[in-house]
Amino acid sequence: MSLVTVSVNPGAGVSVAGRLDAAGIVEVNQVVTDFLGGAELDLLTLDLSAVSMCDLSAVEVVRHAQAGCAKAGCALRVVPSDAVRFAMHPR
């Protein structure tokens, strides 16, 4: 069971809240793919600022969004939480 909440902000991007782990990757990636396929954007904001816990799944989600943005011809802006920042750049 996934403990992640994914929401779409029309015209702006995708927000993720809660615990982001392997169980939530498929849902987040599908929402990002659907969002990119349904809108003409210059910039996708992937708001991960409300992610309370995560593992390397955060890296996978960002990579998926980067690939989707490259294909759609738009830029990606990631807003990380401290947990996401640490997962992406462990000390």
Q: Summarize pLDDT for 7-46 with one digit per residue, the tens.
A: 888 878 999 999 998 888 999 999 999 999 877 889 999 9
From the list 17, 11, 20, the residue with the least C-alpha distance to 43 is 11
Q: What is the dihedral of CA 10, 7, 87, 23, to 10 degrees?
A: -140
**4-88: CATH superfamily:** STAS domain (3.30.750.24)
| Residue positions counted in the chain | 91
Better pLDDT: 90 or 17: 17
pLDDT, tens digit, for every residue of 45-67?
A: 999 999 999 988 889 999 999 99
Which amino acid appears at position 89 of this protein?
H
Q: What is the dihedral of CA 26, 32, 38, 44, to 10 degrees?
A: 180
Q: Look up the pTM and report it.
A: 0.90
